[in-house]
Chains A and B, each alone.
Chain A
Amino acid sequence: MPITTTRRRLLAGSAAALALPAFARAQGAVKPRLTAISQWSAGSDGAAITALGKKFEEKGGVWQHSPVPGFTTEMMNKLRAQIIAGDPPACSQLKGPEIAAWSKIAPTVDLDAVVAAAGYEKVVAPDLAKLHKPGGKWIALPLQIYSTNMLFLSKRAMDKAKADKVPVTWADFNDLAEKMKSGGVTYPVANGGTRADDGQKFEASLAGISPAAYRTAIMNLDKKALEGPEIKAAFAQMRKITNWMDPNVGAQPYATNLKRFVDGDMGMMIMGGWAQGVLRNAGFKFDDFVIAPGPSDNGKPVFLLNADAFIFWQRKEADLQAGQMLMAQLVMDPAIQTMYSQITGSIPVRTDVDLSGEGWSDGQRRTAAALKDAVANNQAVLSLAHNMAQENGLTAAMIDVFTEYAKNKTIKPEEAVTRLADAVEGAR
C-alpha cells in the first residue's frame, strides 16, 4: 500500500531530524546557535542583518533571527512577553538607557572577558561605552552609530536657490531656506510627521545652539537649564523650521517625501544618517543630494548620537551560550562593522576603522569625521528623539510637547518652555 510506505518514510525522516541535534552533541562539538529578535526586517536594515546572519552561518553557527517589524517599542513588547515567560532570546536589539532599565528585570550575560580579549573598550566613544555597561560590566554591544542631526541638501533645490555653500550655523540655514523659498522651492524643509521627526527638529535646534545646554537640560534634566534661554531659543528656531515644512504630511514617515526632496520640490532635510541608506535603496544617486553635519552655531560639528546595540540574555543551553560568544566577536569585528555600515549608511562604532576606501560615501566619511571632532570638543551628545538620552516614559512625555508645538503654531516658545518643564516633572 503506497500510503503506508509514505507515512513510514515520513516518520523515519522526522525521527532522524529529531535525533540530529542530539547526535551533534554526542560528537562533543556544540554547534553555536543564536536566537535573536530585532525590528530590522526590510530595506537596508533587513539586508544588513541578513548579511550578518550569513557571516554567523559561515562561522558554523545556526542563525535564528525573528524580526518584529514596526517601531522599536513593538519589538520591546515581544521581548517583554518572552522575558515574562522565562524564555528570552539569546540576543536582542535594545539601546540607550533602556539597556540599564531592562537589565534589572532579567539576568544578562557578562561580556567583560570577550570585550577585553578584543581590546574593544579603547576604540569606543566613552559616553557610548557607559550606556552598554550599566553595572560596570559589559552586557550589551553597540553595533552601528548614526547621527540624528545630519543635514541633507537637495542638489536641485540648491540649484533653484542658486546656492552652493553648505550652511554651517542656524543663521546660514535660515538664510538658505529663505533663498530656496524665493527660488521656487515649495517647502524648504522636507519632513515627516511622526513623533520622532518632531523630536529631531527640537534636538537638532537645541544641540546646534548649545551642546552644553543640551547636556545639562536634556541629558541631566537640570531644572534650571530646562527653563533656560537656550531652550526658548531652540523652540524659536524650531518654529522657523516648522513654518518651512509641508503641513499636509499628516502622520506619514519622512521617507514618503524623499522623491519630492530629490526633485527639488523640498530643499533640506534634518534626518539621521540612515536616510542615506533609504535614499540609495530607493534608487537615488549620490549626486542627487549632499550630506553634512547639522547646523552648529559655534561652527564645530555637534553630533547627536544614536547607536543600535545588541543585549545578551542569560541562557542555560550550551549551544546558545556558544552562539552568544560568536555573535559578540562578530559584532566587535571591524570587518563586520564595515560590512554592516556600508549597507545601512551608518558609521562603525569602532573609531579605528578607516573610511577612506571603496564602499564608503562622502556623507559617511563626513559623519565619522564629525564624530571624531565632536568627541574631541565634548560636543557629542545623546539623542533624545531616538531614546538615547532618557528612558521611554520621559522621552515620550517630552516628545508630546515637541509634536504638539510642531503642529500647533499658536503655541509661543516661552509657553513651550513651561510645558516642557511640566512634562518632565509629571513623568518623573
Chain B
Amino acid sequence: MVRRLPEYLVIWVPLLLSAAHLISFSIWTIWISFTPSTLIPVSGWVGLRNYNAVLASRNWQIAFDNLLLFGIAFVLLSLITGLLLAILLDQRIRAENVLRTIFLYPLAVSFVVTGTVWSWLLNPSIGIEKLVHDLGWTSFHFDWLVNRDMAIWTIVIAAIWQSSGFAMALFLAGLRSVDADIIRAAQIDGAGPIRTYWRVILPTLWPITITVVVVQLQFAISAFDLVRALTNGGPGIATQLPALVVYDLMFQRNQLGRGAAAAVLMLLILLAVLLPYAAWRYVRRRQAAHA
C-alpha cells in the first residue's frame, strides 16, 4: 500500500480536483438558474421562471431546431466523409503519410480560424461566388452564407472540413486492425472488394463508429467558436445555437439567471446523448465478461 502511494497520489489528486471543479461549478450554475440574478449573481428563488422564459424565447427555439439539424447532418456527413477517406487511404497507395497529414491538418486549426476563413470563402461578394463570376460563369449562384434558410449548412460544411479528418484517423486505425486472415478468407471464398468491405470489414468497425458519433455529437452540442466566427448567429438570428444563446444571455444581455438556465438545458441535452452511450458500454462490458 505505502509502496504504491505515489501512484495513487498521481492518479487520484488530479482526478478529484477536476471532478470537484466540474461538479461544484455545475451545481453553482444550476443554483444560479433558479435565482433572479441579472448583472451579477445574487441569491433568491424564482422557481422555474428562468426556464420558462428561455424555453418561450424565439432565440432558444431557433437554436434548438438548428441544433437538431446541425447535429444530425454534421455527424452523419462527417462520418461518411471520414469513412470514405479512410477506405481510399487504405488501398496501399503511394504518399499515404502525406495525404493523411493533409486530411488531419484542419483538426490542428482553431475553430475561430476555420470560421473566419470560411466566412470569407463563402461570402458572395468576395469569395467563391465572385471567383466563379470572374472566371466567366456569371449566372453562378452560391449565397448560402447570407441566405437564412441555407446558412446553417455553411456551418455544417466548415465543421465537416475541420473534423472529418478525425473520423478518418479513427476509421483508418480500425481498418488496419482487421485481421488479415479474415480478409484473405473472404477473398478465397470469392468475395470482391466491395463485398469484402461491406460484409466483412465494416461490421468490425461498429465500436469505432459509436465512438466517433459520440465525440462529434458532444462537439455539435457545445459548438460555439465556429458559429461565432462564421455567421455570429446570422443572418438575423437564423443560425443561433444553444451555446451562443447562453453566452448572449449571460454576457451581452446581463441576464445571468436565464443564461444559467439555458446552460443547464444544454447539459440535459448532452446527458441525453452520453447516458445511453454509457449504458451501451456497460452492457457490452458485461457481455464480454460473460463470453
Q: Report the minimum CB–CB distance from B177 to chain A (whole Å).
A: 45
B58: A residues at CB distance < 8 A: 400, 419, 423
Is the CB–CB distance between B253 and A248 below 8 Å? no
Contact of A80 among B39, B53, B123 (CB under 8 A): B39
Is the CB–CB distance between B231 and A250 below 8 Å? yes
Bound: A400/B63 CA distance, A = 13
Contact of A426 among B53, B119, B236 (CB under 8 A): B53
Q: Is A249 an interface residue (CB 8 A)?
A: yes
Bound: A404/B58 CA distance, A = 11
Digit string of A95-136 for contact with B (CB within 8 Å is 1, else 0)?
000000110110000000000000000000000000000000
Q: Is B33 an interface residue (CB 8 A)?
A: no
Is the CB–CB distance between A105 and B232 below 8 Å? no
Given that A84-B40, A102-B39, A391-B254 are contacting pairs, would A246 and B234 also be in contact in the complex, using a CB cutoff of 8 Å? no
Q: Is A396 an interface residue (CB 8 A)?
A: yes
Bound: A419/B58 CA distance, A = 10
Residue of A nearest to B52 (CB): A426
Bound: A392/B249 CA distance, A = 10
Bound: A80/B259 CA distance, A = 16
Q: Is B174 an interface residue (CB 8 A)?
A: no
Which interface class (under 10, 10 to 19, 20 to 34, 35 or more) fits A?
20 to 34
B56: A residues at CB distance < 8 A: 426
Q: Is A83 an interface residue (CB 8 A)?
A: yes
Q: Report the minimum CB–CB distance from A399 to chain B (whole Å).
A: 10
Residue of B nearest to A198 (CB): B236
Q: Is A251 an interface residue (CB 8 A)?
A: yes
Residue of B nearest to A74 (CB): B251
Q: Is A408 an interface residue (CB 8 A)?
A: yes
Q: Is A182 an interface residue (CB 8 A)?
A: no
Is the CB–CB distance between B125 and A73 below 8 Å? no
Q: Is B59 an interface residue (CB 8 A)?
A: yes
Is the CB–CB distance between A250 and B236 below 8 Å? no
Q: Report the minimum CB–CB distance from B32 to chain A (whole Å).
A: 13
Bound: A397/B125 CA distance, A = 30
Which interface class (under 10, 10 to 19, 20 to 34, 35 or more) fits B?
20 to 34
Is the CB–CB distance between B234 and A407 below 8 Å? yes
B53: A residues at CB distance < 8 A: 426
Q: Is A14 an interface residue (CB 8 A)?
A: no
Bound: A83/B41 CA distance, A = 12
Is the CB–CB distance between B146 and A249 below 8 Å? yes
Bound: A189/B57 CA distance, A = 32
Is the CB–CB distance between B251 and A408 below 8 Å? no
Is the CB–CB distance between A396 and B252 below 8 Å? yes
* In the complex, chain B residues 203-241 whose Cβ is within 8 Å of any chain A Cβ: 231-232, 234-238
Is the CB–CB distance between B251 and A250 below 8 Å? no
Is the CB–CB distance between A250 and B39 below 8 Å? no
Bound: A248/B248 CA distance, A = 24
Residue of B nearest to A391 (CB): B254
Is the CB–CB distance between B125 and A246 below 8 Å? yes
Digit string of A376-396 for contact with B (CB within 8 Å is 1, else 0)?
000000000000000111001
B251: A residues at CB distance < 8 A: 73, 76-77
Is the CB–CB distance between A400 and B119 below 8 Å? no
Q: Is B38 an interface residue (CB 8 A)?
A: yes
B248: A residues at CB distance < 8 A: 396
Bound: A400/B233 CA distance, A = 11
Q: Is B106 an interface residue (CB 8 A)?
A: no
Is the CB–CB distance between B143 and A193 below 8 Å? no
Is the CB–CB distance between A392 and B254 below 8 Å? yes
A77: B residues at CB distance < 8 A: 251
Bound: A10/B155 CA distance, A = 54
Q: Is A406 an interface residue (CB 8 A)?
A: yes
Q: Is A247 an interface residue (CB 8 A)?
A: yes
B238: A residues at CB distance < 8 A: 404, 407-408
* In the complex, chain B residues 156-172 whose Cβ is within 8 Å of any chain A Cβ: none
* In the complex, chain A residues 254-280 whose Cβ is within 8 Å of any chain B Cβ: none
Is the CB–CB distance between B231 and A83 below 8 Å? no
Q: Report the minimum CB–CB distance from B120 to chain A (whole Å).
A: 10
- The 5 A-B pairs of least Cβ separation, nearest first, read A407-B236, A404-B236, A407-B235, A393-B253, A248-B125
Beyond the given pairs A249-B146, A400-B237, 11 more chain A to chain B contacts, judged by CB atoms under 8 angstroms and listed by A's residue number, are: A193-B234, A248-B146, A393-B253, A396-B252, A404-B236, A404-B237, A404-B238, A405-B236, A407-B236, A419-B58, A426-B57
Chain B residues at the A interface, C-beta cutoff of 8 Å: 38-40, 53, 56-59, 119, 123-125, 143, 145-146, 148, 231-232, 234-238, 248, 251-255
